[in-house]
Chains A and B, each alone.
Chain A
Amino acid sequence: MTFRVAVHVLPRRGILDPQGKAVGDALRTLGFAGVTDVHVGRHLVIDTSADSADAAKAAVKSMCDRLLANPVTEDFVIAGVEAA
């Protein structure tokens, strides 16, 4: 069956994120004074056939390791899996 897997890819904490910093500055300028930190990453939604939800998640983890995330500078979190 087909599963829809969502994955967040984010710059690793501690690595300078100028894009996140610029967005954070803009939010504070807008008056959102409580904003302390912003990180900008990517959200991917992948439809894939697999035997089970666990198998779909395992496949997406492998995709992240090999292509979707840079192991030097990024972390990823599989945010959800559902039948597509």
Chain B
Amino acid sequence: MKVGIVRFPGSNCDEDAWLAIVEQLREQAVMLWHKDHDLQGSDVIILPGGFAYGDYLRAGAIARFSPIMREVAAHAERGGIVIGICNGFQVACEAHLLPGALLRNNGGYRSMPVTIRVERTDTPMTSAAPKGACLTMPIAHGEGRFTASEDDLDRMEDAGQVIFRYVDAAGEATASANPNGSMRNVAGVCNAGRNVVGLMPHPERAMEPLLRSSDGRVLFESLLATVNA
């Protein structure tokens, strides 16, 4: 598997993603500068966390016009896998690769471990996870409140596009388990084609016991299994 990690000015989880792929999975990764036009044959594109363009205007709003995003959109259009993590999720929504929007948290910036439940295993990022698996990994964001119109969210639910929800220790999607006010506790979604996935939590920061959780591994192992299938 070859993973292209897009580096925007202001990305700061690009190295974490690189370490997850190269050191933990022992797979290939390549950094893609935002002004590049070549995905270098990457099977998977990761839009990493950070504050691309300082989150000016709205998080992700400027980054979506970076030159490389045209190639990323074309990759997604061809059915290629694109993963948006945190700021990358915001960029993917602004680029209309994913439905909805991520607004300012209800409650301000949150940096903490959360538990998310895998709602769907028919995506490239969840195929190796058991349905209903509860995974613990960190969040660190100020603008992660997933928002869409009720009608659009109903359609997404019917189509199985809600793939992660914030849950409590008992695995229930309660209000107190929701760290940012996301509608219906949504932590991650996919597009209609199921090849573009976005999530606010950071699986790349939960890859080994030293990081206090290895629960992110199964999501990267899902990518690997999908690419090798």
Cβ of A72 within 8 Å of any chain B Cβ, yes or no, is yes
Contact A70 B58 (CB under 8 A): yes
Contact B101 A72 (CB under 8 A): yes
Query: How many chain A residues touch the partner (CB < 8 A)?
Result: 11
Q: From B65, B101, B106, give the contact of A73 (CB < 8 A).
A: B101
* Size bracket of the B interface: 10 to 19
List chain A positions with a Cβ less than 8 A from chain B: 11, 15-16, 18-19, 42, 67-68, 70, 72-73
Chain B interface main SS type: loop
Chain B CB within 10 Å — which of A16, A19, A42, A70 has the most?
A: A70
In the bound complex, what is the Cα–Cα distance between A65 and B105 (angstroms)? 24
Min Cβ gap B175→A in Å is 13
Tell me the B137-160 residues at the A interface (CB within 8 Å): 145, 147-149
Contact B145 A16 (CB under 8 A): yes
Cβ of B100 within 8 Å of any chain A Cβ, yes or no, is yes
24 residue pairs from A and B, CB less than 8 Å apart = A11-B103, A16-B103, A16-B106, A16-B145, A16-B181, A18-B104, A18-B106, A18-B107, A18-B108, A18-B181, A19-B104, A42-B57, A67-B61, A67-B65, A68-B57, A70-B58, A70-B61, A70-B94, A70-B101, A72-B93, A72-B100, A72-B101, A73-B103, A73-B147
